[in-house]
A and B are shown apart, each in its own frame.
Chain A
Amino acid sequence: GNSVTQMEGPVTLSEEAFLTINCTYTATGYPSLFWYVQYPGEGLQLLLKATKADDKGSNKGFEATYRKETTSFHLEKGSVQVSDSAVYFCALSRSSSNTGKLIFGQGTTLQVKP
């Protein structure tokens, strides 16, 4: 069945460091791929998305490219800030089911130190 696997956290970085959070997936068909961010005590916010192979989603300095050949959607940012500290979730849509349901990875906690 469809699934999402994220790198385990926590990921601890110094401010201005380069960030990569790995996400790989298994899916039938052509799902949409998403990154959501969750700040402490809050709900999830959509960070970026990509809907077809080779699409690049970007927002707030974060980027991710839909790689069908490697079934990956890795999240990157060139220079992280303390305010980026949060939990990041990779997700995919169950495109074949027509229900709009999403499958989430387990989340990766990012801690950025000044």
Chain B
Amino acid sequence: DGGITQSPKYLFRKEGQNVTLSCEQNLNHDAMYWYRQDPGQGLRLIYYSQIVNDFQKGDIAEGYSVSREKKESFPLTVTSAQKNPTAFYLCASRTSRDRTDTQYFGPGTRLTVL
């Protein structure tokens, strides 16, 4: 089955630690996106990548970093510089062949800072 996987489903971090969230897709999609979701709010874009070895900041990139070394993978690192990292993180992907810009989402990772 093609799809997007995110791991782990739940993640706990101590203050001051960096943590990396995994996102993998086997849909052969070109573009990948990371969003943050807080309770009662919409999704806010953290970073996105349209091709391998290239990525751009979204609306709330401070305190986060990403890499895109392979087409299938787009890991997100939440650094100690992120002031309030507790949130639900969603990864999405899109094919450039779809002119409607439809994105497909993974199941999410819930990060809690202790």
Sorting the interface of chain B by its residue count into under 10, 10 to 19, 20 to 34 or 35 or more gives 20 to 34
Q: Is the CB of B102 within 8 A of A32?
A: yes
**Given known A-B contacts A42-B108, A45-B105, A100-B31, A107 and B90 have beta carbons under 8 A apart:** no
Residues of B63-113 at the interface with A, using a CB-CB cut-off of 8 Å, are 90, 92, 94, 96, 99-108, 110
- Answer whether residue A46 sits at the interface, using C-beta atoms and an 8 A cutoff: yes
> Which of A34, A42, A94, A106 interacts with B42 by CB under 8 Å?
A106
Which A residues are in CB contact (< 8 Å) with B102?
32, 34, 46, 49
B residues bordering A, Cβ < 8 Å? 4, 6, 31, 33, 40-43, 45, 48, 50, 56, 58, 90, 92, 94, 96, 99-108, 110
A residues bordering B, Cβ < 8 Å? 4, 32, 34, 36, 41-46, 49, 51, 89, 93-95, 99-102, 104-107
Could you pull out 24 A-B pairs where Cβ atoms are within 8 angstroms? A4-B42, A32-B102, A41-B108, A42-B108, A43-B4, A43-B106, A44-B43, A44-B105, A46-B102, A89-B43, A93-B100, A93-B101, A94-B101, A99-B48, A99-B56, A100-B48, A100-B94, A100-B101, A101-B101, A104-B42, A105-B42, A106-B40, A106-B41, A107-B40
